[in-house]
């Protein structure tokens, strides 16, 4: 992305920067975990490839080490995305935890120092769907947020960090919000924040940022088709938050919403696309941007009518279908941005 496609001058509304105008007349493309359809996710190689493919933003999910450093992993359990299981010295770190109501057994970032984490190597999370990515296993370390931020600044593209599980992490004695603020200050301050969206499925972390006066943030409230913010549940659901009153409340602290695709174009019981909902229209009436997640090329993730190839083939689900058509349908529905594992395809469909 060229610098002119980054942010225009921001003014403050409710603590987060109010753009007042579109960044550009076209939807933004967010490299979801980098170009994670073609490289192991959340590696510098994945982020670099997304940048090469024309992504407007790279997206690092942020969790926290034992020594309070933010690092880029989709989840704080790292058994599926690193080679930690092959490290005998960390065998005793494997344990069961419950994170946001989900119980799992594995290795957890918050039980490692950064130095220990850097001895691990990243690997492909979905080798059964992306065997080509597995060829890059072992080549990359787990990057820090500071490293991802420096890369985005050097390349002149935006960055779109997600604060993962802040309530859980605080219960572990780790608060990611102050560490995040400090990292942005060290990595460019307001200039870095101006080239950034900050996203979270919880509400409290975004409200904390929105109330700051020293840095203006562009906050995005993440939502899924089911459930609700962990820090507000069970009293508030995401469905409550997309009502007219709910969207107005979100606008008090956020500039937009990042929503699951099914909230915009649902699928029927057979997996076929249905008529778009009115969510994009309603959000725009509330002066909120709409960024949709996640666009992937494999048949496994696509609606039935856009899958391609021989249904009887053993690799049918990992074959690529017509992602271009799905992206164009969402662009036509008026979304302001898309998260894609294949940012190059999202850029091509946009143009």
Q: What is the pLDDT of residue 25?
A: 80
The verdict on whether omega for the bond into residue 274 sits within 30 degrees of 0, i.e. cis, is no
Q: What is the pLDDT of residue 113?
A: 98
Q: Cβ-count burial of 275 within 10 angstroms (0-12 exposed, 13-18 middle, 19+ buried)?
A: exposed
Hey, what are 31's tokens? 């490299």
- Fold of the domain spanning 28-62+141-350: TIM Barrel (3.20.20)
Dump pLDDT digits (tens) for 214-260.
999 999 999 999 999 999 989 999 999 999 999 999 999 999 999 99
Residue with tokens 């666009």: 295
> Dihedrals φ, ψ of 4, to 5°?
-65, -20
CA dist list (Å): 333 to 44, 189, 264, 265: 32, 35, 8, 9
> Dihedrals φ, ψ of 297, to 5°?
-85, -20
User: Which position among 32, 42, 165, 291 bears the catalytic label?
Assistant: 32
The verdict on whether omega for the bond into residue 294 sits within 30 degrees of 0, i.e. cis, is yes
User: Which position among 42, 68, 74, 165 bears the catalytic label?
Assistant: 74
CB atoms within 10 A of CB 164: 25
- What residue spans of 266-342 are helical by DSSP H? 279-285, 323-332
E strands, the chain, are 11-13, 16-18, 28-32, 57-59, 61-64, 70-72, 95-99, 102-106, 158-159, 162-163, 198-200, 219-223, 256-260, 289-295, 337-340
- Indicate if 320 belongs to the active site: no
Rounded to whole angstroms, how far apart are CA atoms 350 and 259? 19
DSSP strand pairing (256-260 vs 11-13)? unpaired
Q: What is the pLDDT of residue 21?
A: 40
DSSP strand pairing (337-340 vs 28-32)? parallel
Low-confidence ranges of the chain (pLDDT < 50): 1-22
Q: What is the pLDDT of residue 24?
A: 57
Q: What is the pLDDT of residue 19?
A: 37
- What residue spans of the chain are helical by DSSP H? 44-52, 114-117, 145-155, 166-171, 176-186, 190-194, 204-210, 238-241, 244-250, 279-285, 323-332, 343-350
Domain boundaries, the chain: 28-62+141-350
Q: In degrees, to the nearest 5, what angle opens at C-alpha 319 toward C-alphas 317 and 321?
A: 100
- Indicate if 291 belongs to the active site: no
């Amino acid at each position: 992305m060229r610098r002119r496609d980054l942010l225009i001058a921001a003014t403050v509304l409710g603590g987060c920067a109010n753009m007042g105008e579109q960044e550009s007349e076209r939807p933004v493309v967010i490299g979801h975990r980098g170009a994670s359809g073609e490289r192991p996710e959340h590696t510098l190689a994945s982020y670099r490839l997304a940048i090469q493919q024309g992504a407007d933003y790279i997206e690092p999910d942020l969790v926290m080490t034992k020594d309070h450093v933010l690092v880029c992993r989709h989840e704080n359990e790292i058994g599926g995305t690193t080679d930690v299981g092959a490290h005998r010295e960390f065998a005793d770190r494997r344990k069961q935890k419950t994170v946001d109501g989900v119980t799992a057994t594995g290795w957890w970032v918050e039980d490692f120092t950064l130095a220990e984490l850097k001895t691990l190597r990243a690997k492909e999370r979905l080798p059964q769907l992306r065997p080509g990515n597995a060829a890059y296993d072992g080549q990359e370390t787990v990057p820090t947020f500071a490293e991802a931020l420096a890369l985005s600044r050097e390349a002149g593209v935006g960055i779109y960090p997600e604060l993962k599980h802040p309530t859980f992490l605080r219960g572990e004695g780790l608060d990611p919000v102050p560490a995040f603020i400090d990292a942005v200050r060290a990595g460019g301050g307001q200039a870095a924040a101006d080239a950034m969206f900050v996203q979270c499925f919880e509400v409290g972390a975004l409200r904390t940022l929105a109330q700051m006066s020293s840095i203006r943030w562009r906050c995005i409230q993440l939502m899924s088709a089911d459930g609700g913010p962990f820090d507000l549940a069970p009293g508030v659901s995401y469905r409550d938050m997309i009502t007219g009153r709910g969207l107005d409340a979100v606008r008090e602290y956020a500039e937009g919403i990042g929503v699951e695709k099914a909230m915009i174009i649902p699928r029927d019981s057979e997996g076929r696309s249905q008529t778009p909902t009115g969510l994009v229209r309603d959000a725009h009436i509330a002066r909120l941007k709409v960024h949709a997640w996640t666009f992937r090329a494999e048949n496994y993730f696509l609606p039935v009518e856009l899958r391609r190839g021989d249904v009887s083939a053993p690799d049918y689900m990992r074959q690529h279908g017509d992602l271009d058509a799905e992206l164009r349908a969402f662009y036509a529905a008026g979304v302001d941005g898309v998260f894609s594992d294949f940012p190059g395809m999202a850029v091509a469909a946009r143009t």
